Amino acid sequence: MVKKNIDWENIGFSYMQTDKRYVSNYKDGKWDEGVLTDDANITMNECAGVLQYAQTVFEGMKAYTTEDGRIVTFRPDLNAARMVDSAKRLEMPVFPEDRFVDAVVQTVKANAAYVPPYGSGATLYIRPYMFGINPVIGVKPADEYQFRVFTTPVGPYFKGGAKPITICVSDFDRAAPHGTGHIKAGLNYAMSLHAIVTAHANGFDENMYLDSATRTKVEETGGANFIFVTKDNKVVTPHSNTILPSITRRSIMYVAEHYLGLEVEERDVYFDEVKDFAECGLCGTAAVISPVGKVVDHGKEICFPSGMEKMGPITQKLYDTLTGIQMGHIEAPEGWLKVIE
Ligand SMILES: *Cc1c(COP(=O)(O)O)cnc(C)c1O
The reported pLDDT for the residue numbered 189 is: 96
Catalytic residues, which ones? 184
Q: Whose CA is nearest to atom 2 of ligand 1?
A: 223
Integer CA distances (angstroms), 94 to 33, 146, 205, in order: 14, 11, 35
Would you state the pLDDT for residue 156? 79
Most informative mutation of 89, 246, 326 for ligand 1 (most atoms within 8 A of CB): 246
Tell me if 82 CB under 6 Å of ligand 1.
Answer: no
Asked whether 246 lines ligand 1 (CB < 6 A), one says: yes
Burial 202-224 (b: 16+ CB within 10 A, else e): eebbbbbbbbbeeeebbbbbbbb
Answer whether 60 contacts ligand 1 (Cβ < 6 A): yes
Per-residue pLDDT of the chain (341 residues; tens, 9 = 90+): 889 999 998 898 899 999 999 999 999 999 999 999 999 999 999 999 999 999 999 999 999 999 999 999 999 999 999 999 999 999 999 999 999 999 999 999 999 999 999 999 899 999 999 999 999 999 999 999 999 999 999 987 776 678 999 999 999 999 999 999 999 999 999 999 999 999 999 999 999 999 999 999 999 999 999 999 999 999 999 999 999 999 999 999 999 999 999 999 999 999 999 999 999 999 999 999 999 999 999 999 999 999 999 999 999 999 999 999 999 999 999 999 999 99
Residue 25 confidence (pLDDT): 98
* pLDDT attached to residue 159: 67
**Ligand 1 geometric centre to CA of 184 (Å):** 8
Q: Name the residue with the closest Cα to ligand 1, atom 12.
A: 223
Considering only CA atoms, which of 226, 197, 229, 190 is closest in space to residue 209? 226
Report whether 125 contacts 33 (CB < 8 A).
no
